[in-house]
């Protein structure tokens, strides 16, 4: 796992355990002034840390992302956990096996929420899924079965999403998308009247030797 935008950290007393309850040991390796590597030896600890996505240490935020061999210090990976909400899913399908198959086209299943796991919310099932932010997320999937005697039977299941981070394809950074980037660029540009005024002044300026 990788974290970035961190205060000064050392391998000793990094403060991670003070912010998140860990079952095992966490080792910190400082890559540069903006990136650190967090080595976790427990699968539950990995999920606990990664699902937080943002951790605050000493008043500063650390953004988290899953480690990949494609790591580049100047870019954020477009892989992130997000919640997939499945309203109206038949109650007999509120099971890890069924939901895992149902959301296979969305991304890699990670965990059910407490209510789905405990089967205490019959109206909706929720699963956290690892999604690729560069790919469109489907708003529905087909649920059905096929046998020798009948053609495909089933229904279209609606999907909803929560906590999907924004990702800019241009900057390759998390936290904003292309639309937000254009808005920021427009705010940074001077008004058109000011631009025209500057152009007129430049034309009137004469250079003398």
pLDDT given at position 170: 81
Q: What is the mean pLDDT of the chain?
A: 77
Q: Measuring CA to CA, how many Å separate 136 from each of 19, 92, 132, 139, 162?
A: 33, 29, 8, 9, 14
Strands 79-87 and 160-162: antiparallel
Over range 36-50, report the average pLDDT: 83
Most confident of 42-51, 133-142, 171-180, 200-209: 133-142
pLDDT given at position 208: 47
pLDDT over 70, % of the chain: 71
191, pLDDT greater than 80: no
Cα distance between residue 25 and residue 22, in whole Å: 7
What is the tens place of the pLDDT at every residue in 125-169?
Answer: 999 999 999 999 999 998 876 565 656 678 899 999 998 988 888
Taking the domains of the chain in order of start, what are their residue ranges? 17-64, 79-167
């Amino acid at each position: 796992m990788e974290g970035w935008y961190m205060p000064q950290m050392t391998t000793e007393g990094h403060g991670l355990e003070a912010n998140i309850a860990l079952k095992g040991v966490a080792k910190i390796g400082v890559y540069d002034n903006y990136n650190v590597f967090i080595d976790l030896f427990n699968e539950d600890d990995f999920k606990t840390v990664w699902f937080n996505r943002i951790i605050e240490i000493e008043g500063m935020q650390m953004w988290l992302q899953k480690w990949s061999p494609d790591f580049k210090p100047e870019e954020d990976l477009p892989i992130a956990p997000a919640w997939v909400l499945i309203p109206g899913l038949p109650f007999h399908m509120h099971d890890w096996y069924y939901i895992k198959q149902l959301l296979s086209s969305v991304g890699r299943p990670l965990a059910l929420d407490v209510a789905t796991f405990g089967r205490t919310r019959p109206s909706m099932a929720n699963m956290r899924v690892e999604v690729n932010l560069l790919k469109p997320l489907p708003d529905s999937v087909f649920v059905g079965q096929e046998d020798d005697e009948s053609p495909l039977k089933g229904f279209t299941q609606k999907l909803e999403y929560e906590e999907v981070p924004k990702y800019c394809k241009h900057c390759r950074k998390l936290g904003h998308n292309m639309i937000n980037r254009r808005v920021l660029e427009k705010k940074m540009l001077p008004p058109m009247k000011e631009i025209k005024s500057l152009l007129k002044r430049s034309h009137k300026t004469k250079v003398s030797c």
